[in-house]
Structure 1
Amino acid sequence: MADVVDRVFDTVADAAPEIRAGLPERRAKRDDENVSGDTQLEADVWADDLLFDRTDAIEGVNWYASEERDAVVTVGDADEGYAVALDPLDGSSNVKSNNPCGTVVGVYDQPLPAPGSSLVAAGFVLYGPTTTMVVARNDEVREYLVDDDGRTDLGLVELPADPTVYGFGGRVPEWSEDFEAFVRNVEDDLKLRYGGAMIADVNQVLVYGGAFGYPGLSSAPDGKLRAHFESMPMAYVVEAAGGSSSDGSGSLLDLEPTRLHERTPTFVGNDAVIEDLEAALPD
């Protein structure tokens, strides 16, 4: 079934230039919210529909889930196969300000909701100055340049040994005292880099080393990021690149969400930074 996973990422890569080209005319907000309560842009729904139509054609993908849809859509006719979970346009609020955004992909070998251990591949497309795709599978991470001619392999991605950058989301007044104290120690050694699109911020960690995270807040104890669509796929990528992930107490890949749109505190980065984070937070 490995060819099914290949076809998923081929399909996303083929769609990426079309998605990028379609963003300028779809910057307006809709009157709707998604199931998580986020205001949708026209681009969110359009990208979701496009990716659903393309994924629906892949034999072996039997379930499709998206941050923009209330429930899992059964697209195959078998009891076994793969589930594809997408954040079709991560960081879509950046479209208006012309900052980076992207698409997150998680491929699970069982229907959702599913544990992080059921991920068999994950990755993302980043719409930055260039369009790139990062794919993690079989304990290896590779980066590709994506354009109308297809994918160009740019080589292996490995987390640098020395951390350089950090970025943590949420309003500081809503951080816990323990987390704020941890960040104050981190900022003595690392440079702040936070752009408001998880994909772009995680990609900077992959390039320069460091840490990205979105903690639990006083107004949102589980944080902002969704386990199936954002947190566990990014954990899969960063761990395959030689780093670590955490919800504050253990690997995000050990999570067992019981709801499709479940949220979780999310941290990824170099082992040492994540270890310090877990030591700083209460059990």
Structure 2
Amino acid sequence: MPDDTNEAAGEPDSVVDAVFDAVAATAPAIRDALPGRRVESDDENPSGETVLAGDMYADELLGEALTAVDGVGAYVSEERPDATDAGEGYSVAVDPLDGSSNLRSNNAMGTVVGVYEGSLPATGHDLVAAGYTLLGPITTMVVADESGVREEVVTRAASGDVTRTVVDDDLTLPDEPTVYGFGGRVPDWTDAFREYAREVEDELKLRYGGSMVGDVNQVVTYGGVFAYPALTDAPDGKLRLSFEANPIAYVIERMGGASSDGTGSILDVDPDGLHDRVPLYVGNETLIDRLETALDE
């Protein structure tokens, strides 16, 4: 494992910083490549989903960049059945192009990253850092670690150099929630979740764009709740625990919010396999408490 002496002394973890340097460095290249990679590839991911050429390209770029980081021991991707061995160190789990279904409609997408101490599968309590990049009108990156949560803007100069500029070094979830976004088809929601949704839609504004990073970033910015719930035909939901749910739950909890799989914190979920799915609910604590109560009735 990486030496955590500096981190224990209150100094930044250099390996974690190098991981997010690598993620930031790939973001402009991923964005530039998207116009020509909006078509389906001939491949399926380990979850049986047909992937786009953009998914594969993002995975290739991130795999090369992250396995080159000294202190990264494994690269684990939603697009690969098994971990890629890189030596000794942290396991970095990645959803290379979250929301890639938005490519055709030209809406938001991004990359989700979780840095785990130890091999995967593991619980979210093994995360030492997590975050995501968002390819919106500008490229931003949210990074959470033991020191807190920060938002950065990622830019590339004419020289090709990529810069991370911190715009908020102490992100916390707004106290007054404003927005909600729920995935899945309404007819496929459970009765209990449907009742909860009806209450929430009377209180908050709908913000849902079909990309988890974009929808979660609305909650990060304005407060509220995001969910991809358990469905009647998919009780485990859609999102992958290691690559999507754990990292996002870690970010939201570090911001003072809460996460849940319907009964308790996402970070407590003990996975059986690398590509396990889980229902995901994140947001302001009061909204998540109400959700768990509604699902328990």
Q: Give the Cα separation in 2 of the matches to 1:192 and 1:241.
A: 22
Tell me the equivalent position of 2:90.
82
Q: CA deviation at 1:139?
A: 4.6
Q: Match for 1:183 among 185, 197, 202?
A: 197
Residue by residue over 1:27-52, the C-alpha shift from the partner in whole angstroms, topping out at 9 and shown as x without a partner, is 11112211112211001001101110
For 2:238, the equivalent position in structure 1 comes to 224
Query: In the alignment, is residue 147 of structure 1 matched against residue 155 of structure 2?
Result: yes
Task: Please give the alpha-carbon distance, in whole angstroms, between the structure 1 residues aligned to 2:25 and 2:40.
Answer: 26
In structure 1, the residue matched to 2:6 is none
Distance across 2 between alignment mates of 1:184 and 1:57: 48
Q: Which residue of 2 aligns with 1:23?
A: 34
Q: TM-score, normalised by structure 2?
A: 0.93
Which of 230, 235, 245 aligns to 2:259? It is 245
Could you report, residue by residue, the CA deviation over 1:121-173 in whole angstroms, capped at 9, with x for unpaired residues? Answer: 00000000000000000151100000114111101211100110001111111
Runs of 4+ with deviation above 4 angstroms: none
Query: Aligned letter for 2:104?
Result: K
| Correspondences of 1:1-283 after superposition (within 5 Å) | 1=3, 2-76=13-87, 78=88, 81-148=89-156, 149-155=162-168, 156-282=170-296
Alpha-carbon distance between aligned partners in 2 of 1:208 and 1:55, rounded to the nearest angstrom = 32
TM-score by length of 1: 0.97
Cα shift at 1:15:
1.0
Aligned to 2:100, the other structure's residue is in SS state coil
Contact 1:139 1:240 in 2 (8 A): no
In 2, Cα distance between the equivalents of 1:58 and 1:132?
A: 21
Which residue identity lines up with residue 135 of structure 1 in the other structure? V
Deviation, structure 1 residue 112: 0.4
Say which SS state the counterpart of residue 225 (structure 1) adopts.
Answer: coil
RMSD, aligned CA: 0.9
Shift of 1:282: 2.3
Structure 1 Cα separation of the partners of residues 94 and 219 of structure 2 = 21
Could you list the runs of 5+ residues in structure 2 that have no partner in the other structure? Answer: 4-12, 157-161
Q: Which shows bigger deviation, 252-261 or 100-109?
A: 252-261
- Checking the alignment, whether the CA contact within 8 Å between 1:28 and 1:42 is kept in structure 2 is yes
Quote the Cα distance in structure 1 between the aligned partners of 2:209 and 2:49: 18
User: 1:224-244 CA distances to partner (integer Å, 9 max, x unpaired)?
Assistant: 000000001000000111100
User: 2:9 is matched with which residue?
Assistant: none
| CA drift at 1:66 | 0.2
Aligned length: 280
5+ residue gaps, structure 1, are none
Q: For residues 26 and 260 of structure 1, what CA distance do their matches in structure 2 show?
A: 27
Separation of aligned partners in 2, 1:30 and 1:16 = 21
SS at match of 2:235: coil
Identity %: 57
What is the CA–CA distance in structure 2 between the aligned matches of 1:248 and 1:147, rounded to whole Å?
38
Choose 139-148 or 127-136, whichever is displaced more: 139-148
Q: Could you tell me whether the CA contact under 8 Å between 1:245 and 1:267 is conserved in 2? A: yes
The alpha-carbon deviation at position 3 of structure 1 amounts to 0.7
**Larger CA deviation: 231-240 vs 145-154:** 145-154
Q: Give SS of 1:242's match.
A: coil
